[in-house]
Amino acid sequence: MTQHNTQNTLEGLQNFLFGQMERLDNPDLTPEELELEIKRGETMAKIADKAIENANTVISAMRFYDKADSYIKPAERPKMLEG
């Protein structure tokens, strides 16, 4: 099995998803191979949605922590928000 490096970034995720689209567009796939790629793509999309939801949660939390009336020093913030 080929291991892909998404670099654990949203940019890496985007590149990985575009690669999946290219695989789905391959005219040389047999019907069986295409079905497998479709199932694989659907699974990847669900996981990608969760990663994007998580990123949006982090962004929302960072905005909250940066507000003047609720400012929390970076050292006191959850490690997840370190970027």
Q: Are 17 and 40 in contact (CB under 8 A)?
A: no
State the average pLDDT over residues 42-52. 91
Q: Are 58 and 83 in contact (CB under 8 A)?
A: no
Inform me whether the pLDDT recorded for 16 exceeds 50: yes
What is the average pLDDT value for the chain, to the nearest integer? 81
Inform me whether the pLDDT recorded for 1 exceeds 50: no
Model confidence, pTM: 0.64
Separation of alpha carbons 79 and 36, rounded Å: 38
18 Cβ neighbours under 8 A, 6+ residues apart: none
